[in-house]
Amino acid sequence: MKMACLFLRERWSRKNNFTMTSIHNSGIAEHIQNIQSGKIDVVAFVKKVIQLAREYDRKYHCFTIICENEALAQAKQIQEKVKHHQAGKLAGLLITVKDNICVKDVESTASSRILKGYKPLFDATVIERLKKEDAIIIGKTVQDEFGFGTFCVNVGLGYRIPLNPLDVTRATGGSSGGAGVITAVADFPHIAIAETTGGSIESPAAFCGVVGFSPTYGRLSRYGLISYADSLDKIGFMSKSVGDIIPLLEITAGRDELDGTSLDETMKEYSGEKSEDKKKDQKLLIGVIKEGMGKGVAPTVIKAMKETIEKLKQRGMVVEEVSLPVTFKYGIPTYYILSTTEASTNLARYCGLRYGQESPVRGKTFSSYFSEIRSEHFNTESKRRIILGTFARMAGYRDAYYLKAAKVRTKIIEEYKTVFGKYDVLISPTMPITAPTFSEIKKLTPLQNYMMDILTVGPNLAGIPHASIPIGFEKNLPLGMMAMTNHYEEKKLLSFLSEVERLVERGEQ
Amino acid sequence: MNVTPEVTRMIAKTAKLSLTDSEVEKFTQDLKEILSAFAVLDSIEVDNVKPSFLPIPQRNVLRDDTVKKSIKQEEALKFTEQHENGLFISPRTVE
């Protein structure tokens, strides 16, 4: 099989004469050092990046907004800090932000027309922490409206559907589709800040051929995230290389008094312990999920998985088959009942008052005005999920649907916990197929669409860390493998991913 | 559950959505298909299982009850034209 080299990443590294000190890093560390030491003119560099971003956007529709003025203002500040040797740990690193994460004074709409014009008065905590270390925000990336989609074809009314850079007739994956595109094509040091509820980071990572990483639920504060489903939403990252994620995780993770579900523990301990982790990797016990290698999964996807498994075995890892029957039989209904129930309450706030879309209120009644605004500006998928979620929590149905799903979720979490009692890492394909064409997607019913999430809803329901990593190509379309570890074991996951990256990119046996 | 257009209209009314006839027809069909597939949940026994409303056990988090700086009134009003005398204008709640 053709090796899953991240061709764009290699091109970028060569062009910039950076030596890749290890497979863990795509040159971001060197770039930051060059900024901090004053070797790069930050303002001129950002101007060039903005120009490139506009070109990518013209070709692939990846941005909802490119915030040139704000990025240049940040660049000027950093330039001054560099003169006084005060530049932050991420000085000059280019960041894009999924449209559902608030950036102060930059339009943030979750790619929904109902929020058009909304410019937050505050930064999300994750953004605040990144800015403090002088990362530069260059734009907001397009997504399925409020995160409601698997392919990023459910963007809001008036937004453009992003195109897969490997084949523009195909979808990018969703809901973080714009983030997947810019991560794949960016010819500059870049990390995408994305978000997952049921697979929204891993799906576009698999279809666009990049790394997508989601931490344990609560590891990163959700303050400033436009909610889809609070018990499932997690901010994470997309990058060209596993190692790029580590400094961002260290800086953004940790307790935030503005989010009661954020975890106490910080993630400061990564950088110094990589070599020790490499030794551990060779002894890892890996469980390959049986249900992810059978019916409904494309033969090409299974073939790529089997080849990767062989490489892991040859590397000294023990790989065994493991079954998650409850998760795979009940995961989809459990996820969709819980997520749409939460979404239907979260979206109740969009009523045409105080911010977002509105029309003259005088003379109208409460119900007619709210219904008018919501019906005009929500897209079809949002309406469908609001209806499903409202039904699942209505009197007479709540126990049979919402409460039942919450109980099944307990059984799913227990199933993962039992399996992690034996295995260090679980693996499966990320998506059952390669990136579909837009015409193929049009033929799917809503239920068939939802079923495409079969491999990714489990780790999201359980809130465990998980990530997609490229493992090959099939007819120029990338294939992704998903890896999962127990709660709080991001370190083990990143270490394993680095090993996979090394094996796949170098073709090591 | 027998999903009819009337059921869909009733749910939409509760959710403050005005649907067209074609939307009612489409969503009724979608809801039928989805709920039929989700009926698989009837086959799992959960009588003595506690629900998980979050994936990780949480404790109550309290903070000191101290006054903090908030946004200014003009900032709160700047996203809407529907305001008067420093207040938001809202639709009538009593018909």
User: Is A306 a residue of the active site?
Assistant: no
pLDDT of residue A18: 29
Q: Do A447 and B30 touch (CB under 8 A)?
A: yes
Q: Do B89 and A326 touch (CB under 8 A)?
A: no
Task: Show the domain range for B39.
Answer: 5-43
DSSP codes joined into one string, A8-36: HHHHHHHHTT---SSTT-SSHHHHHHHHH
Alpha carbons A276 and A288: distance in angstroms, whole number: 24
Alpha carbons A271 and A275: distance in angstroms, whole number: 10
Q: Do B51 and A403 touch (CB under 8 A)?
A: yes
The residue of A121, A361, A394 whose CB has the most chain B CBs within 10 angstroms, and thus the best one to mutate to test that interface, is A361
Report the 10 Å Cβ neighbour count for B72.
Answer: 10
Question: Among positive and negative, which fits the CA dihedral A437, A162, A49, A6?
Answer: negative
Q: Do A394 and B11 touch (CB under 8 A)?
A: yes
pLDDT for A13 beyond 70: no
The predicted model gives B78-89 an average pLDDT of 95
Is beta strand A425-429 parallel, antiparallel or unpaired with respect to A466-474?
unpaired
| Catalytic residue selected from A111, A112, A175, A241 | A175
pLDDT for A15 beyond 50: no
pLDDT for A277 beyond 80: no
Q: Residue A153 in contact with residue A144, Cβ under 8 Å?
A: yes
Q: Do A388 and B89 touch (CB under 8 A)?
A: no
Percent of all residues in chain A with a pLDDT value above 70, rounded to a whole number: 91
Alpha carbons A208 and A176: distance in angstroms, whole number: 11
User: Is A175 a residue of the active site?
Assistant: yes
Q: Is B93 left (phi over 0), alpha (psi -120 to 50) or beta?
A: alpha
Q: Report the amino acid identity of residue A277.
A: D
Nearest C-alpha in A relative to B22: A380
Binned at pLDDT 50, 70 and 90, residue A267 comes out as: low
pLDDT in tens, A190-229: 999 999 999 999 999 999 999 999 999 999 999 999 999 9
Q: How far is CA A378 from the centre of its chain?
A: 23
Q: Do B38 and A371 touch (CB under 8 A)?
A: no
Q: Does A325 touch chain B (CB under 8 A)?
A: no
pLDDT in tens, A67-118: 999 999 999 999 999 999 999 999 999 999 999 999 999 999 999 999 999 9
Kindly report the nearest CA distance between residue B85 and chain A, in angstroms.
14
Alpha carbons A146 and A155: distance in angstroms, whole number: 9
pLDDT of residue B64: 87
Percent of all residues in chain B with a pLDDT value above 90, rounded to a whole number: 82
The residue of B8, B11, B69, B89 whose CB has the most chain A CBs within 10 angstroms, and thus the best one to mutate to test that interface, is B11
Contacts of B25 in chain A (CB under 8 A): none
Report the 10 Å Cβ neighbour count for B77.
Answer: 18
pLDDT of residue A26: 65
Q: Do A387 and B15 touch (CB under 8 A)?
A: yes
pLDDT of residue A426: 98
Q: Do B82 and A361 touch (CB under 8 A)?
A: yes
Alpha carbons A310 and A294: distance in angstroms, whole number: 18
The residue of B3, B49, B56, B90 whose CB has the most chain A CBs within 10 angstroms, and thus the best one to mutate to test that interface, is B56
Cα–Cα separations (whole angstroms), residue A175 to A52, A66, A106, A126, A434: 23, 19, 20, 19, 16
Contacts of B57 in chain A (CB under 8 A): none
pLDDT for A327 beyond 50: yes
Chain A, residues 159-218, CB within 8 A of chain B, namely 216-218
Kindly report the nearest CA distance between residue B13 and chain A, in angstroms.
8
Superfamily of domain covering A7-281+428-506: Amidase signature (AS) domain (3.90.1300.10)
Is beta strand A190-196 parallel, antiparallel or unpaired with respect to A285-289?
unpaired
Q: Give the number of domains in chain B.
A: 1
Count of CB contacts below 8 A, A vs B?
163
Q: Do A353 and B82 touch (CB under 8 A)?
A: yes
First to last CA, chain A: 13
DSSP codes joined into one string, A378-395: S-HHHHHHHHHHHHHTST
Contacts of B12 in chain A (CB under 8 A): 387
Alpha carbons B90 and B81: distance in angstroms, whole number: 11
Contacts of B37 in chain A (CB under 8 A): 332-333, 447
| Catalytic residue selected from A26, A112, A176, A200 | A200
Using CB atoms, which residue from A261, A361, A372 is nearest to B18?
A: A372
Q: Does A393 touch chain B (CB under 8 A)?
A: no
Structure tokens at A330: 């009940």
- Residue A397 three-state SS: coil
Contacts of A375 in chain B (CB under 8 A): 17-19
B38 assigned to some structural domain: yes
Pick the more confident residue, A504 or A160.
A160
Starting at the edge strand that comes first in sequence, how are the strands of the sheet with A466-474 ordered? A63-66, A136-141, A94-98, A190-196, A234-239, A211-214, A466-474, A477-484, A425-429, A285-289, A318-322
Residue position matching structure tokens 């009661």: A260
Alpha carbons A255 and A83: distance in angstroms, whole number: 32
Q: Residue A413 in contact with residue B52, Cβ under 8 Å?
A: yes
pLDDT of residue A266: 65
Alpha carbons A146 and A149: distance in angstroms, whole number: 9
Binned at pLDDT 50, 70 and 90, residue A46 comes out as: very high
| Catalytic residue selected from A13, A98, A221, A492 | A98
B80 assigned to some structural domain: no
Peptide bond before residue A175 is cis, with ω within 30 degrees of 0: yes
pLDDT in tens, A355-411: 999 999 999 999 999 999 999 999 999 999 999 999 999 999 999 999 999 999 999
Residue position matching structure tokens 């949480």: B58
Q: Which residues sit opposite A77 in a β-bridge?
A: none
The residue of B9, B13, B14, B16 whose CB has the most chain A CBs within 10 angstroms, and thus the best one to mutate to test that interface, is B16
Structure tokens at A205: 């990572």
Alpha carbons A508 and A316: distance in angstroms, whole number: 12
